[in-house]
Chains A and B, each alone.
Chain A
Amino acid sequence: MSKATEKFIAIQTGVSAGGEEWQRLRKRAVMIKSHTLDNLDHYLEQFASNVEHSGGRVCWAHDAEEANRYICDLARTRGVRLAVKSKSMMSEEIDLNHALAMAGVEAVETDFGEFIAQLAGERPSHINMPIVHKSRADVADLFAAKLNVGRLEEIKDLASVARRLLRARFAAAEMGITGVNFAIAETGTIVLVENEGNIRFTTALPPVQVAVMGIEKVIPRLADLEVFLKLLPRSASGQKITAGVSLLTGIKRAPHEEGPREFHVIILDNGRTGILADPQLRESLHCIRCGACLNVCPVYRKIGGHAYGWVYPGPIGAVLTPILIGREKSADLPFASSLCGACRDVCPVKINLPEMLLHLRTQIKERPAAKVDPPARTGSHSPRTFGQLLANRAERAAFKLWAAVMKDARRYRRAARLARLAQLTLGGGKRRGVFSILLSRWTTSHIPPLAPQPFSSWWRELSDPDERRPER
């Protein structure tokens, strides 16, 4: 992750050099997204209608189960044994590959990073750099072990192996599955950005095309695309534009010579209408999945993506995961942040992530009994243990005590005197802080000792050095 951090910083530097033009783009993007969310039903219906007019079919999926059932039924009735996939975080969210495998369909990831992750049996650890947690040596080892090739040191040789393998798959696959970067309501077009060319192959060769998208991916008009095509590549990878941008509409129909035989779009809710309904969290649906918040996050840079326990890592993940899989199942995530705000600064669509994390913290603390029905698959988070429940109770009591002390100046002064006494007596020879002593059971963190006298004593001396005061 340290090496990756260098790359992240380089991308971030590029973004912050954008100046006023960048701020203007961000503002416009927020306006477009905000307007779209305010009229989401209208734009989704317009999109769906235009997909159908261009010969495609739409599946409105409430959750993962419905989406996977549609896709697996489709595969079964079309005799699909092999599907090629381009990178889609939504497909991770619904665990599509697993569902397809159960239905006897082999789904091959064609994005180089996803291909490697799939080979390793791992989830991607970043939204658009799936194996940022792996070194070249890791990949070389993996290929040598799983692909019957000698150990290759050079990236271009590793890529070459993957290319040969994937070319064969592209040619043989009966189905191509993609995500959607943007869905244009005006024309029923899906937009996909890439650097590797795998999306071109995935969408150009197999006769049956499937695109999975969340309801928040829709934007009103073709003209609106420009703003996002300027924001996404620069935020994601420091590029002005990606190597490939595909605008795909419908099926092969006269007079056009090109297009798939079938085109299916799965429009997924999977908990998003719930997010839409919450005014404090709604803006998280502006997210264009650029990954910039991950790149700047000091926590993400330290712990990497897998530590977040589910599909989406980083700050956006810390917001989406509790909402989509349930707060009680991922109660740690909103707290695993120092709220530094770097993510908010860099977000191309100005999502106030720290504010949302704070909001989730309040929800978790103030409504511990709230049962949130998780629509999405459970991540690798376990429910609270008894010890954790006890710790939560203790924390609540501690803050209640804190408030009782802090709202009364006299109580506060008395408590401070008591704490100093405790520090003297309990600390023994070592100069250990009273809070360190008290909390040492629960934390290894170091909290410094209280100063021998508080500032308020100094001030009192200063104001009236001669007054004799009894020690209260």
Chain B
Amino acid sequence: MQVSLFVTCLVNQISPQVGVATVEFLKRIGVGVTFNAEQTCCGQPAYNAGYHREACEVARGTLRLFERELDSSDYVVVPSGSCVAMIRKCYPKLFSADAAECARAERVAGRVLELTEFLVRVLRVEPSGGSFGGRVTYHDSCHLLRELGVANEPRTLLSSMQGAEFVEMDRADVCCGFGGTFSVKFPELSTALAEEKLASIERTRADAVVACDTGCLMHLAGELNRRGSPVRCLHIAEVLNAQPETDESRD
């Protein structure tokens, strides 16, 4: 099994440890990983802000990159639900003016997978074989849940971690308030929604909140830091990659 990693602009620039964990974990379970350094962004920020032309310009390049990668890899794997939703659901719409381009987008769409989608639905990984000490809870990222229908997969993976006590939070599926440009345009509202989510997390008394999207995690971590809270925000890749001897698992 050979995959090409689309690491996403947020992970690349802000949370590279998520990319590192993804690569290390995939390699450990026997998946060949390549990374095309020409990748930039799926185009979602411009698309959501209403700038479709600009989004198209960037997405076009990313589409070409995927096509090249899929010549030598079985799948493109992405540690982000929102990017995959953009690629799978929005690229055909973005390129709808050109039938050929649209068809290309649709062809690619089926082979671009979010990490847990790939692990559970394609590789059928279970148990994950990792070890993580402490109580964890899970936040459903909106695009991952509602656009891609991924809900059980991350939970299955988390529940199978040795040493981890998985606790379901109330209102896990309610938006954390990030919403990309929403958090820049309506920061007070965005923060208020994060506070609601943090209250849900606190009620679980979890040591860490796990999600599959860096956007959500960044947003929640920001609020947690402001409060001086010890609760950690971890991407699922970081949890899966945690080994008994490493820092991540020690609590």
- In the complex, the number of residue pairs spanning A and B with C-beta atoms less than 8 Å apart equals 163
Whether A342 and B174, one on each chain, are in contact in the complex, defined by CB atoms closer than 8 angstroms, is yes
Whether B37 and A409, one on each chain, are in contact in the complex, defined by CB atoms closer than 8 angstroms, is yes
One digit per residue, 1 when the CB lies within 8 angstroms of any chain A CB and 0 when it does not, for chain B 29-57 equals 00000010111110101111111111101
For window 67-123 of chain A, which residues contact chain B by CB distance below 8 Å?
Answer: none
Q: A373 on the interface (CB 8 Å rule)?
A: no
CB distance from B44 to the nearest CB of A (A): 10
Whether B11 and A455, one on each chain, are in contact in the complex, defined by CB atoms closer than 8 angstroms, is yes
10 more CB-based (< 8 A) A-B contacts, given A335-B50, A340-B179, A458-B20: A338-B193, A340-B175, A407-B58, A442-B184, A447-B218, A451-B14, A451-B16, A455-B7, A458-B16, A458-B19
A459 to B39, CA, bound (A): 13
Q: A365 on the interface (CB 8 Å rule)?
A: yes
Residues in A neighbouring B189, C-beta threshold 8 A? 299, 302-303, 336
A412 to B183, CA, bound (A): 23
A373 to B226, CA, bound (A): 46
One digit per residue, 1 when the CB lies within 8 angstroms of any chain A CB and 0 when it does not, for chain B 91-127 equals 0000000000000000000000000000000000000
Whether A403 and B40, one on each chain, are in contact in the complex, defined by CB atoms closer than 8 angstroms, is no
Q: A395 on the interface (CB 8 Å rule)?
A: yes
Whether A454 and B16, one on each chain, are in contact in the complex, defined by CB atoms closer than 8 angstroms, is yes
State whether A302 and B40 are in contact (beta carbons under 8 Å apart), knowing that A451-B13, A453-B16 are contacts in the complex.
no
Task: Name which of A17-25, A29-37, A149-157, A356-364 contacts chain B.
Answer: A356-364
The residue of chain A having its C-beta at the shortest distance from the C-beta of B45 within the complex is A402
The residue of chain B having its C-beta at the shortest distance from the C-beta of A299 within the complex is B189
Whether B37 and A460, one on each chain, are in contact in the complex, defined by CB atoms closer than 8 angstroms, is yes
For window 401-448 of chain A, which residues contact chain B by CB distance below 8 Å?
Answer: 402-403, 406-409, 412, 416, 419, 439, 442-448
Whether B41 and A406, one on each chain, are in contact in the complex, defined by CB atoms closer than 8 angstroms, is yes
Residues in B neighbouring A336, C-beta threshold 8 A? 182, 185-186, 189
For window 300-351 of chain A, which residues contact chain B by CB distance below 8 Å?
Answer: 302-303, 335-342, 344-345
For window 261-286 of chain A, which residues contact chain B by CB distance below 8 Å?
Answer: none
A445 to B173, CA, bound (A): 23
Q: B212 on the interface (CB 8 Å rule)?
A: no
* Pick from B19, B48, B184: contact of A339, CB under 8 Å: B48
Whether B20 and A399, one on each chain, are in contact in the complex, defined by CB atoms closer than 8 angstroms, is no
Whether A400 and B54, one on each chain, are in contact in the complex, defined by CB atoms closer than 8 angstroms, is yes
A335 to B43, CA, bound (A): 17
* Pick from B39, B53, B179: contact of A337, CB under 8 Å: B179
The residue of chain B having its C-beta at the shortest distance from the C-beta of A409 within the complex is B38
Q: A379 on the interface (CB 8 Å rule)?
A: no
Q: B147 on the interface (CB 8 Å rule)?
A: yes
Most buried by A among B12, B147, B185: B12
Residues in A neighbouring B47, C-beta threshold 8 A? 358
For window 120-147 of chain B, which residues contact chain A by CB distance below 8 Å?
Answer: 142-143, 146-147
17 A-B contacts, Cβ less than 8 Å apart?
Answer: A298-B174, A298-B175, A340-B146, A341-B146, A342-B173, A363-B50, A366-B50, A399-B46, A399-B54, A402-B46, A408-B40, A442-B184, A447-B218, A450-B14, A455-B13, A459-B19, A459-B37
**B interface list, Cβ under 8 A from A:** 7, 9, 11-17, 19-20, 23, 35, 37-41, 43, 45-55, 57-58, 60-61, 142-143, 146-147, 171, 173-175, 177-193, 196, 218, 221-222, 226
* Pick from A364, A407, A446: contact of B222, CB under 8 Å: A446
The residue of chain A having its C-beta at the shortest distance from the C-beta of B47 within the complex is A358
A454 to B160, CA, bound (A): 31
Residues in A neighbouring B35, C-beta threshold 8 A? 456, 459
Residues in B neighbouring A342, C-beta threshold 8 A? 142, 146, 173-175
State whether A364 and B182 are in contact (beta carbons under 8 Å apart), knowing that A455-B19, A458-B19 are contacts in the complex.
no
Whether B13 and A362, one on each chain, are in contact in the complex, defined by CB atoms closer than 8 angstroms, is no
CB distance from B78 to the nearest CB of A (A): 13
A449 to B190, CA, bound (A): 19
A342 to B147, CA, bound (A): 11
Whether A339 and B49, one on each chain, are in contact in the complex, defined by CB atoms closer than 8 angstroms, is no
Residues in B neighbouring A163, C-beta threshold 8 A? none
CB distance from B221 to the nearest CB of A (A): 7
The residue of chain B having its C-beta at the shortest distance from the C-beta of A334 within the complex is B50
CB distance from B216 to the nearest CB of A (A): 10
Whether A445 and B48, one on each chain, are in contact in the complex, defined by CB atoms closer than 8 angstroms, is no
Whether B40 and A409, one on each chain, are in contact in the complex, defined by CB atoms closer than 8 angstroms, is yes
CB distance from A170 to the nearest CB of B (A): 42
A336 to B183, CA, bound (A): 10
Whether A339 and B182, one on each chain, are in contact in the complex, defined by CB atoms closer than 8 angstroms, is yes
State whether A366 and B53 are in contact (beta carbons under 8 Å apart), knowing that A448-B14, A455-B20 are contacts in the complex.
yes
Whether B185 and A338, one on each chain, are in contact in the complex, defined by CB atoms closer than 8 angstroms, is no
Whether A439 and B184, one on each chain, are in contact in the complex, defined by CB atoms closer than 8 angstroms, is yes
State whether A444 and B187 are in contact (beta carbons under 8 Å apart), knowing that A338-B177, A365-B51, A455-B12 are contacts in the complex.
yes
Whether B51 and A407, one on each chain, are in contact in the complex, defined by CB atoms closer than 8 angstroms, is no
CB distance from A439 to the nearest CB of B (A): 7
Residues in A neighbouring B174, C-beta threshold 8 A? 298, 340, 342
Residues in A neighbouring B45, C-beta threshold 8 A? 399, 402
State whether A338 and B57 are in contact (beta carbons under 8 Å apart), knowing that A298-B193, A299-B189 are contacts in the complex.
no
CB distance from B15 to the nearest CB of A (A): 7
Residues in A neighbouring B52, C-beta threshold 8 A? 362, 366
Residues in A neighbouring B61, C-beta threshold 8 A? 406-407
The residue of chain A having its C-beta at the shortest distance from the C-beta of B176 within the complex is A338
The residue of chain A having its C-beta at the shortest distance from the C-beta of B179 within the complex is A338
* Pick from A9, A345, A363: contact of B146, CB under 8 Å: A345
Whether A403 and B46, one on each chain, are in contact in the complex, defined by CB atoms closer than 8 angstroms, is yes
Residues in B neighbouring A412, C-beta threshold 8 A? 40
CB distance from A26 to the nearest CB of B (A): 16
Whether B51 and A396, one on each chain, are in contact in the complex, defined by CB atoms closer than 8 angstroms, is yes
Whether B182 and A365, one on each chain, are in contact in the complex, defined by CB atoms closer than 8 angstroms, is no
CB distance from B139 to the nearest CB of A (A): 12
Residues in A neighbouring B182, C-beta threshold 8 A? 335-339
